[in-house]
Amino acid sequence: MTTEIRHIVYDIGHVLVHYDPLVPFSRIIPDPEKRARFFAEVCTDAWNHEQDRGRPWPEAEAEAIARHPEEAENIRAFRAHWDEMIPYAYEDSVALYQSLIAAGHDVTLLTNFAPDTFRICRTRYPFLDEGRGITVSGEVGMVKPDRDIFDRHVETFGLAPEATLFIDDKAVNVEGAKTAGWNAVRFTGADALKADLAGFGITA
């Protein structure tokens, strides 16, 4: 028998808010091949992940510039134009998130984000503060999918892992949550999430 879900935990990027570095970089590096190489070799996902862990941007820029001095201007442009990378929220997903809160469900958020860029996101999208609270990876020095950030979120918000449902767009993070004893589903869209929630007996 499935444990009753008493806590719902949302990821933010690609679940509630769109994130896409190509928005500014399609302009900054117009050539598709050069742009692809830049993200594959210079400002990679692994490089950005360390900012999510809390590495300061000046240190991140210095590290990348040391590897690719010819890309210094473009490397600095990543942070300088970061605000363009979160151009809109997913209205249907946000509406579902808000309806869950309005229905009295315990909703918190757990996100991989650099502290300073999260402040930009939080200011632009005030609905992020409508839940009970947020764990931001860069503020605690831990990142998904590592076990410690899930345990930290449980401790911070007094969750029962077996009664917690996590929603994230990345399969690796979904598996990380399951390893921590949570229930978890991969987000592919608001309609699919409604069906997933219904499967756990959750309605909004």
CA triplet 197, 175, 162: central angle to 5 degrees? 55
Q: CB–CB of 26/35 below 8 Å?
A: yes
C-alpha angle 66-143-57 in degrees, rounded to nearest 5: 30
Whether the per-residue pLDDT at 34 is higher than 60: the answer is yes
List helix spans (H) across the chain: 22-28, 32-37, 45-52, 57-67, 72-80, 91-102, 115-124, 137-140, 147-157, 171-179, 190-199
- The whole-number pLDDT of residue 204 equals 81
pLDDT digits (tens, 9 = 90+) for 76-120: 999 999 999 999 999 999 999 999 999 999 999 999 999 999 999
Q: What is the rounded CA–CA span in Å between residue 175 and residue 171?
A: 6
Gap between the terminal Cα atoms of the chain: 22
> Residues 127-178: pLDDT tens digits?
999 999 999 999 999 999 999 999 999 999 999 999 999 999 999 999 999 9
Under a CB-based contact definition with an 8 Å cutoff, are residues 128 and 109 in contact?
yes
pTM of the predicted model, to two decimals?
A: 0.96
What sign has the CA pseudo-torsion 47, 48, 53, 55?
positive
Q: Is the pLDDT of residue 1 over 60?
A: no
Band the pLDDT of 3: cuts 50, 70, 90.
Answer: confident
For the stretch 178-199, pLDDT in tens is 999 999 999 999 999 999 999 9
Residue type, position 20, single letter: D
Element (H, E) at 89: none
Residue 67 CA to residue 46 CA, distance in Å, equals 14
Q: Which amino acid would we find at residue 112? A: N
pLDDT class for 2, splitting at 50, 70, 90?
low
